[in-house]
Amino acid sequence: MRKNVERMAQNKIPGQRFLLSYISGLLAVICCLVPLASYADDNPLSLMRDDVLSYFRPLKGKVVSVNNGMAVINAGERSNVKKGMRFIVFREGSVFLHPVTKAPIGTLEAVIGKAEVKEVGYDTSTAVILNGNVKVSDKVRISETGVRMLFYQGKNVDWSLGDSYYRLIKETGRFEIVDTAIETDNDSEVIAEAKRLNVDVVLILSAKESAGDTMLKQRLLWADNSLKFAEDEVRVAVAFIKELRFGEEFFGPQKGDVRTFVDLPFGVRLITAGDIDGDGKAELLMSTGSDIRLYSQGAAGYLSGLYEIKGTPNDDHIWLDVLDINRDGKDEVILTLVKDNMVVSRIYEFKDGNFSVLWKGDVFLRRVGNELIAQEYEMGEGYKGAVFKVAWDNGYKKGDNVSIPRGVNIYDFIFINEPDGKKLVLAYDDAGHLNLYDEGIRIWRSRGDYGGFQTTFKRAAPTIMVERGEWAVKDRLSMQNREILVIKRIPLVGMAKGIGYSKSQIRSLWWTGVSMEERTIIDDIPGKALDFTIADNKIIILDMPMLGIKFKNILKGENPIGTVLYIYPLKGR
């Protein structure tokens, strides 16, 4: 599926737009050729493309017999006829004469019906008559006109892989590809969309992991009767996908140019997503700092308000997560806040249309993978003691300590699981650098910091003349497959973060086992990115643009600091 969300184009003058389009187009061709050259004729995407084309090669034939709704055609394997092909049936009419010379220049043809090949012999094939009063001597044909195709890329298909295959199909010139904005794993919904869009054929692309590689499957279905007539599955090596990503990074169009923009009518500080009501769909949860508001996501980024968890004006939210703690099929809301110089965490359960507090305590809480972890708090100091697991058994129970390097706190880190079972730790330090640890030993550190942290608290001091530094709530680190996604903020003036930020980025880190590969996957987010979440193969970024003050909010007594959402497709990265 290729969702067209170009709602907010980059502002470029016409000359720049032409030049960038030209260069992007030229280098996109290079991007395609680089990986293809490495894999020569056994490129798995080319093999799949050729199989699709084999069902739509222009062909001609004639009906030689008709019996009980079946027609025998004088073309078979020798003419490249395949089971599942569809022929248009024509019948010749009167001779068409030149209007001046009256010389015969052709024969008028009338479309009689349609037939689908069920059995193929060497010189003949047998087809079921789908419609029309087909007779002996009628002609059959697969014409050269473009075939209307719905190309649907499943959520589990790597974006670079799906996009490359989409372009290979489109560049054949054989298909008029129709895009759709729906996102579903239900074939019947895809077929319904295909019928609505009046297409002829549906290509559904899906993927699964197998021994470190990707098994890429395509299915071809006729839109009118949902009949599958072809299926292919190929193995795609991880090296091939990495080449595609390399080409995409340096030569292909930036993902940052494709986004949905949502202007929020209130200030938001934190964002996450989860299935709170158990309907199988992820809701968006946004914290204003004192309240939590839940929304459902509609097409083109539209949000519909659902529920609200009200707090008090003294609440200061510092972390928001979701996790199905009690294994009831619904995510619980995990909130940590500072109130009256104390840290309080609450777990909210949604039941019978309302939220209730499932648990409350004076520790920091956070989700890591599918586990809940915690750390104690000391007033005026911040984090205290070791990070430990929380076992949920009809209530909160303190578990074993989490194995992380000394000095790493609850919101600082994420695990990287190596193929050999080893667990590495990627963690922020207080200077804003990222560090990679192997059994407590640092093996990598980022060259620069990532722009500082948005939530900091001063440590208690005996007098105002003494500075004891700050403790900080670090930025969210998110794992997508084996890539870690992280926010990078770019200051307006050098390292002067206090003045503001010119833009933000989403960067990807990939540990190869030898080195850390880092690249920008979303660039030019205006202003200061505050938080992000991943839901339904989209990355949703909460951003505060420069000078984003909304004066009408002041009159309403609401937060005047304007925030927006940028929603980017993230196709199974």
DSSP 369-437: TTEEEEEEEETTTEEEEEEEEEEESSSEEEEEEP---TT--TTSEEEEE-TTS-EEEEEE-TTS-EEEE
Average pLDDT, the chain: 83
- Of 48 and 163, the one with more pLDDT: 48
CA distance 147 to 197: 13
Q: Is the pLDDT of residue 282 over 50?
A: yes
142 pairs with which residues across the strands? 59
- Least confident piece of the model among 241-245, 373-377, 450-454, 507-511: 241-245
Residue-level pLDDT at 27:
43
Token pair, residue 182, equals 């729906």
Band (557; pLDDT cuts 50, 70, 90): low
Bridge pairing between strands 147-153 and 201-210: parallel
Asked if 474 contacts 411 with a C-beta cutoff of 8 angstroms, the reply is yes
Residue-level pLDDT at 180:
73
Q: Edge-to-edge strands of the sheet including 413-417?
A: 413-417, 423-428, 434-438, 441-445
CA distance 306 to 304: 6
Residue-level pLDDT at 78:
93
Task: Give the residue ranges of DSSP H helices in 59-186.
Answer: 159-171
Band (211; pLDDT cuts 50, 70, 90): confident
pLDDT mean over 216-226: 94
What residues have CB less than 8 Å from 508, skipping those under 6 apart? 483, 484, 485, 486, 517, 518, 519, 520, 521, 573
Question: Nearest to residue 566, comparing CAs of 182, 288, 320, 258?
Answer: 258
Q: Is the pLDDT of residue 430 over 80?
A: yes
Band (2; pLDDT cuts 50, 70, 90): very low
Residue-level pLDDT at 301:
64
- Least confident piece of the model among 39-43, 166-170, 382-386: 39-43
Bridge pairing between strands 175-178 and 147-153: parallel
- In the chain, the amino acid numbered 67 is N
Asked if 510 contacts 485 with a C-beta cutoff of 8 angstroms, the reply is no
99 pairs with which residues across the strands? none
Residue 467 burial by CB count (10 A; 0-12/13-18/19+): exposed, middle or buried? exposed
What 3-state class would DSSP assign to 48?
Answer: helix
Asked if 351 contacts 363 with a C-beta cutoff of 8 angstroms, the reply is no
pLDDT mean over 327-333: 92
- Other CB atoms within 10 A of residue 292 CB: 22
Residue-level pLDDT at 462:
79
Asked if 193 contacts 178 with a C-beta cutoff of 8 angstroms, the reply is no
pLDDT mean over 198-224: 92
- Least confident piece of the model among 276-280, 389-393, 398-402, 544-548: 544-548
Token pair, residue 195, equals 């019928």
- Of 29 and 84, the one with more pLDDT: 84
Residue-level pLDDT at 463:
77
- Of 269 and 43, the one with more pLDDT: 269
Residue-level pLDDT at 300:
58
pLDDT mean over 553-557: 50
In this structure, is the dihedral angle defined by the CA atoms of residues 419, 237, 570 and 531, taken in order, positive or negative? positive
Residue-level pLDDT at 246:
57
Band (492; pLDDT cuts 50, 70, 90): confident
- Least confident piece of the model among 36-45, 112-121, 171-180, 561-570: 36-45
- Summarize pLDDT for 493-534 with one digit per residue, the tens: 655 555 678 889 999 999 988 889 888 888 888 889 999 999
pLDDT mean over 332-343: 95
- In the chain, the amino acid numbered 32 is C
Residue-level pLDDT at 149:
93
The structure's pTM equals 0.58
Token pair, residue 230, equals 């072809």
CA distance 431 to 12: 36
What 3-state class would DSSP assign to 70?
Answer: strand
Token pair, residue 320, equals 């928001």
- In the chain, the amino acid numbered 218 is Q
Q: Determine what percent of the chain is predicted with pLDDT higher than 70.
A: 82
- Least confident piece of the model among 1-5, 119-123, 213-217, 431-435: 1-5
Residue-level pLDDT at 129:
94
- Summarize pLDDT for 227-270 with one digit per residue, the tens: 999 999 999 988 787 777 655 444 333 444 456 778 887 789 99
Residue 340 burial by CB count (10 A; 0-12/13-18/19+): exposed, middle or buried? exposed
- Of 329 and 163, the one with more pLDDT: 329
Residue-level pLDDT at 571:
53
pLDDT mean over 122-150: 92
What residues have CB less than 8 Å from 265, skipping those under 6 apart? 553
pLDDT mean over 211-225: 92
CA distance 569 to 506: 13
Rg (CA), the chain: 30
Residue-level pLDDT at 156:
83
